[in-house]
Amino acid sequence: MEWYDEFFDEHYLDYWAQILPPERTDREIAFIVEKLALRPGAAILDLCCGQGRHAIELARLGYRITGLDLTPFLLEAGERAAQAAGVDVRFVQGDMRRIPFEGEFDAVINLFTAFGYFDRDEEDEQVLASVEGCLKPGGMFLVDQSHLFRAVREFQPRARREYDDGTVLLEERAFDARTSRFTTHATYVKPDGSRAKRRNQIRCYTCAELTGMLGRAGLDVVQVFGDFDGSELLMESRRLILIARKPASG
């Protein structure tokens, strides 16, 4: 079993619900709308959509949204949230290395460091090739991940956080400088003393590496940012955001 087969469960959802305020989502949505400059009603694929945090808000704005994710639990949560919000989002279960669409989307978004999940860089390249295949000619791809230089500089081997319900999250972290992979072993301790253990592993790419990978997939990088405020990418930037375009036919 791979780490992502069990990591995205109710513990993950409860944790991020408490530390992702609506203001952050609003800021990210505003950035996406401004920088992609898509026509009203454009078709967007939210790749690794999770519980639909971005997909639902983009649907509110009138875009035709498809959310693809591997985890049924998160997709079910997204469907419930979309129904409660009164918006139409097409949620699809699938592997991002094999996106089951061809030439369908005006844009693909991949947010919140939902890239670099696999053991081999070649598998991440498969993801980008699949993104290229599902875009229309001239379509845009926005990918957002943690900025490696900032993450390394602020790296902490241990962390502790307490939930509102008394659950405590304990994290043991490691960074492999040879492979640029962060590994986290998380233990959720419930108020009754019960424990659940989870692990995740992320390959964090530099801007140069990711630009090269996108180019090999047939996508041309057109803009680079260091955060959702539109700031320039610098050593101290928190995010690495690249916007790439699939060349128009002809």
Look at 132 and 11; give whichever has higher pLDDT. Answer: 132
Q: What is the pLDDT of residue 19?
A: 82
Average confidence score pLDDT of the chain: 96
Residue 98 is predicted with a pLDDT of 98
DSSP letters for 233-247:
P-TT-SEEEEEEEPP
Q: What does the pLDDT look like over 116-150, one tens digit per residue?
A: 999 999 999 999 999 999 999 999 999 999 999 99
- Number of Cβ within a 10 Å radius of residue 227: 19
What are residue 243's DSSP bridge partners? 142, 223
Q: Please tell me the distance from the alpha carbon of residue 215 to that of residue 28, in angstroms, as a whole number.
A: 25
pLDDT exceeds cutoff 60 at 73: yes
Residue 151 host element (H or E): helix 148-153
Give the pair of three-digit tokens for residue 91.
């949620």
DSSP string, 170-219: EEEEEEETTTTEEEEEEEEE-TTS-EEEEEEEEEPPPHHHHHHHHHHTT-
